[in-house]
Structure 1
């Protein structure tokens, strides 16, 4: 074809066109999926097309969206539950466990199991359904989803590299608001999956231009026109190898014109399979990029809400260039034929041009053959009669189906925790709405903490720490949490204290301090009066201090015996006795203290407050332990006599010796 003809076809992009509001759907994750090594279907081609679209600044004339992936509930509006459940569960690792299901659902050869199969289907179907929904809401005039157009998938079967039929799902969404929907397929293969879905209805007319004969899928004969209420609403135009731009235009425009005349659709779905281009790996047509784009421009000229989808196409560089050019046709922008530099620039060697040329392939479609088929198709369209009417009914506000909480949770967990090396999808990154470093300590805080200017969170001090500072200075040792080390008993701070536990500890310590203060005040207020041998208070006594001490020791002896017989912790007793021996007062002080009546308050008041040990003895120690402490102060010999079970007489003799100051 000459350059003049190419320029004429290319200029049609700007003819008879008014500004349209275009919505463009693209998900960057789509290019991450790969069928299997050596498979002709390569989702990476969509990423190439998107790169060209952005480099040509076409985004300035359309709105770009990333649709939410279709859910299981949305897919089952057309497909069976069992089939979708199988696609959701099967993986390359467990596919051996689903051998029977693979045969049942035709998964394995042309439609292999690959990583992320269900997610790939969700992205493809989600863009088509969201595009149809925006057309219904009149948010746009044209919706584009190059990741869609998988027209071979059946209700419960995969076919022709297609698993989920996003086209059928998009048409079903359009039918919620539109009375009649027209489907046009310019893929080299017959759109059998879409035709089969709407073969018995008059609300959807399917029109397919495809290679027929010894060619996949082997359907799409001229006589296949639908059945029942859908009779004459399935249009098939079988073609032979090597059709050119002029021949294709001579049949496409008259047929679509008659379809618009008799069917009068309210919306159009256009499948733009790129395998009808010249030089495709699997195709056998001879269309150039301009001839292919002419079909897009002609459908656009009717001004109907249009959903434009991708499809086949197995020579990536040609598919990417054609879809980018057709995007420019839809937004009404004339595009430079010299490709702008982009991240996939080397794919377009050696010419680096925005063009796919026809070859010298022989055209097997004679003029007589094409005219004969065209006449039969138009005759079938006349038999459709007036445009079918549709009874109006309430339309649900939300699409049918939806995602349950369990399905949302399962979708959120995909690839997040199982394999840390797997990259996160764009949808997963969208859930991180806050800055990851927002709640992390800054470098300045770390530097200050290293220099001792900031106290670690595990070293927070409690209220009782400040009351023990004076005693801790004498010991010269402090534990990490500010507490003193008493008698070699090391106090270790818990770095991970729970806030509730810390509050409880503070409350206990505060109560202990209150008890100590109250006992001190009580000791100060109590008058110090002497008691004679007869028990009289404030009266002279002829008995010497030594006799008084002996009598008081005899009174306390039975209680000491009872206390010593119930001791279960000899280590604690030994430690307490050692401390008592070390703190033993002089003989004169001992006599003065023993002459005082309220012994326990006085003894408590004179003792220093020690956080490590004294508080625990004063708060938690029962009365028996307090009496035991008094007995231990009398010396090791009295303790041994008491704990060995000796009688009161032996204890009395020992105490008399102690009172005389003898060793």
Structure 2
């Protein structure tokens, strides 16, 4: 099992009460369900829980364009008609990325939790930081995409880069982690590894095996494009050797793990056949390397299964054994009829099109690309810029410990899928040195 690792958990009781709109598959309410299970299983006793601090405009503009963040701050369902269609189109706001009440507050909330987790890791106050409300990997520098408005992952990685020469990003969402890959496509400071369904008709339409990065970032983007119906055995068959080889070659000093649960079987928008145990096995495998890790949520559109999965993975991260029988919570009816942690969700909704030969070819391709990296990239020593969140002075009083979070009355809300064109933003990548200064 390895040495015990200190775990911190970041959560805001309000985050589950935002609502994308009637019929929308993205449902922040799943975070409330997850947290309820975490508390009911007593997992909060094995980690330090914080009420997260919302990210400021300054935090968000380390990656995102100022005009885009100002737009998110101003637009509301009440004034949306005052904005020209061209403006809404520019920022890609519409059916898939709707304007809903509290939109900017929601973005600041989930991004702040990821940023806070990164800061705690930087100061070696924890080995693992968890933010299940984060992981919104599609958002671009100047536009929303795939139910994601602010890319908390990029903001958090920029913070980690102040203290860590190399950050490894791993994405097990069914959708390609395009926004994160694009942000770091030109640098060797971040290696992105995404396991996802790939195809022209599947959002976001990117993530081909031959997208490997460019300039200094050549060979530092790794994509594992999978076909419909991959099962537990096939997924772990390719995941473990790829991640092991990446860590051996790249030698990261911190990891960001996006745990999108739409790769589970029976997901409303997914097409894989993973069980919760196999999804968790990926998390456990990454944990086994004993590298400081920021663990984030992501996609997931059958909310009862998403919350089961993230609760189970929280248990794995704190080394707790929990029963298959779910304890009583205010949300117990969501888990009918079996009321179990591991329901039968991995049965084949789609034929498994991933042959052994296809998976072997992917593994070989990744290994060939890694051989082109002569050694782990070094970084010149320099003064460390101040933290994006200052925990000393005025913000010290904002930092709240949570033992058992009092959850406000829940509002039934919505979850992730955007079927559109790939990003056309001319500003490929982010200037690492400028962003972290």
Question: What TM-score bracket applies, with the shorter chain setting the length?
Answer: 0.7 to 0.9
Partner of 1:250: 237
* Aligned pair partner of 1:46 in 21, 31, 54: 31
Name the one with the larger strand percent: 2
Question: Comparing both chains, which one has the higher relative contact order based on Cα–Cα distances under 8 Å and sequence gaps of 6 or more?
Answer: 2
Shift of 1:279: 0.2
Q: Paired residue for 1:368? A: 357
Which residue in the other structure is 2:156 paired with? 170
- Alignment match of 1:300 (pick from 287, 304, 308): 287
Partner of 1:226: 213
8 Å contact kept, 1:293–1:326: yes
**C-alpha distance in 1, partners of 2:389/2:13?**
27
- In the alignment, which residue of structure 2 is the partner of 1:126? 112
- Choose which of 22, 29, 34 in structure 2 pairs with 1:37: 22
Alignment partner, residue 247 of structure 2: 260
Aligned to 2:45: 60
Task: Summarize the alignment of residues 170-319 of structure 1 with structure 2, pairs less than 5 Å apart.
Answer: 170-213=156-199, 214-319=201-306
Task: After TM superposition, list the pairs within 5 Å mapping 1:543-554 onto structure 2.
Answer: none
**Counterpart of 2:83 in 1: which secondary structure?**
helix
Residues in 2 aligned to 1:86 and 1:424: alpha-carbon distance in whole angstroms? 29
Which has a greater percent of helix? 1
Shift of 1:31: 1.2
Question: In structure 2, what is the Cα distance between the partners aligned to 1:342 and 1:279?
Answer: 23
Query: Counterparts of 2:20 and 2:286 in 1: how far apart (Å)?
Result: 32
Using the alignment, how far apart are the partners of 1:397 and 1:93 within structure 2?
38
Following the alignment from structure 1 to structure 2, what is the Cα–Cα distance between the partners of residues 90 and 401?
A: 29
Superposed, which structure 2 residues align to 1:442-481 within 5 Å? none
- CA–CA distance in structure 2, aligned partners of residues 65 and 371 of structure 1: 43
Tell me the secondary structure at the aligned position of residue 373 of structure 2.
coil
Paired position in structure 2 for 1:395: 384
SS in structure 1 of the partner of residue 137 of structure 2: coil
Alpha-carbon distance in 2 for matches of 1:127, 1:182: 19
Could you say which residue in structure 2 is the equivalent of 1:488? none
- Structure 2: how far apart are the matches of 1:384 and 1:135? 27
Distance in 2 between residues matched to 1:98 and 1:384, nearest whole Å: 48
Residue 347 of structure 2: which of 359, 376, 387 is its match?
Answer: 359
Does the Cα contact within 8 Å between 1:132 and 1:170 map onto a contact in 2? yes
- Report the Cα offset of residue 360 of structure 1: 2.8
Which whole-Å deviations, capped at 9, do the CAs of 1:90-111 have from their partners, x for residues lacking one?
0001001113321110001100
CA–CA separation in structure 1 for the residues paired with 2:231 and 2:388: 42
Classify the secondary structure of the residue corresponding to 2:278. Answer: helix
- Matched-pair contact (CA < 8 Å) for 1:77–1:400: no
Q: Show the counterpart of 1:378.
A: 367
Counterpart of 1:65 in 2: which secondary structure?
strand
Query: Is the 8 Å Cα contact of residues 18 and 29 (structure 2) preserved in structure 1?
Result: yes
The 2-side partners of 1:168 and 1:424 are apart by: 32
Whole-angstrom CA distance in 1 between matches of 2:3 and 2:210: 38
Partner-residue secondary structure (3-state), 1:312: coil
Q: How far off is 1:424 after superposition?
A: 11
| Mapping for residues 11-90 of structure 1, pairs under 5 Å | 16-90=1-75
C-alpha offsets along residues 379-419 of structure 1, whole Å, 9 cap, x if unaligned?
Answer: 101111100000011012332899xx9xxxxxxxxxxxxxx
Distance of 2:371 and 2:343 partners within structure 1: 37
List aligned pairs for 1:494-533, cutoff 5 A.
none
> Highest Rg: 1 or 2?
1
State the match for 2:414 in structure 1: none
2:64 and 2:315 map into 1 onto residues whose CA distance is 34
Query: Which string of whole-angstrom CA distances, capped at 9 and with x for unpartnered residues, describes residues 229-263 of structure 1?
Result: 00000000100000000000110000001101110
Write the distance in 1 (CA, Å) between the matches of 2:348 and 2:98. Answer: 35
Q: Matched residues in 2 for 1:192 and 1:399: separation?
A: 24
**How far apart are residue 199 of structure 1 and its match?**
0.1
1:550-597 deviations in Å (ceiling 9; x for gaps): xxxxxxxxxxxxxxxxxxxxxxxxxxxxxxxxxxxxxxxxxxxxxxxx
Take 2:389 and 2:87, find their aligned partners in 1: how far apart are those partners? Answer: 27
Shift of residue 154, structure 1, vs aligned partner: 0.1
Distance 1:326 1:232 in 2: 30
Question: Aligned residue for 1:327?
Answer: 314
Give the secondary-structure state (helix, strand or coil) at the position aligned to 1:24. Answer: strand
Q: 1:141 aligns with which of 113, 127, 132?
A: 127
2:142 matches 1:156: yes
- Is the 2:198–2:227 contact (alpha carbons within 8 Å) kept by the matching residues of 1? yes
Output the aligned Cα RMSD: 1.6
Secondary structure, aligned partner of 1:223: coil
1:338 aligns with 2:325: yes
Runs in 1 of length 4+ with deviation above 2 angstroms? 396-402
Shift of 1:346: 0.6
The answer to whether the Cα contact below 8 Å between 1:87 and 1:117 also exists between their aligned partners in 2 is yes
Q: Quick check: 1:35–1:114 contact (8 Å CA) kept in 2? A: yes
Distance 1:349 1:424 in 2: 21
SS of the residue 1:28 aligns to:
coil
